[in-house]
Amino acid sequence: MAATARLTRNLLDRIAGGVCGGIGAHLAISAWWVRLAFIVLTVALPNLGFLLYALIWLNLPAQTLSDLSDTDKARRPARAETTLLLGAGVIGVGAIALADTLGFLNGVKGDLLTPALLFLIGLTLLIRQLRRAA
């Protein structure tokens, strides 16, 4: 998808409000990189992550149907992989909350959540890149 002339909330590449899809389309990168950045920000600084997303959502205009190309209009707006990823994300957040409540994420020298998440994200990206190269 080519970069659009103006930044808008994406109608088709959206999970919640279309903010990440719109930013990704505007920057001509995958919206999943933008989503990952928001996830990392929200895990590291929850109040800032949610507030920033909400402010962008409120200030970005929604994409109109006239902004879409004919191929975009023919595209199905909801994909099964989006629903699966959203469900997996909710399960992951629930598992993290449960582990934190039970005290599994508290080490002798402090919180283990942020380093563990960064390690898992990095490992996932590395494995994904190695599979592409093969």
Is 60 in contact with 7 (CB distance < 8 Å)? yes
pTM, full prediction: 0.48
Band of residue 3 on the pLDDT scale cut at 50, 70, 90: very low
Q: What is the pLDDT of residues 39-87, one digit of tens each?
A: 888 888 878 888 888 888 888 888 877 666 655 544 555 556 666 777 7
Chain-centroid distance of CA 11 in Å reads 16
The answer to whether residue 122 scores a pLDDT higher than 60 is yes
Q: What is the pLDDT of residues 85-103, one digit of tens each?
A: 777 778 888 887 888 788 8
Helices (H), the chain: 19-27, 31-44, 46-59, 70-74, 80-101, 113-133
- Phi first, then psi, for residue 17 (nearest 5°) are -110, 0
Burial class of residue 49 (count of CB atoms within 10 Å of its CB; 0-12, 13-18, 19+) = middle
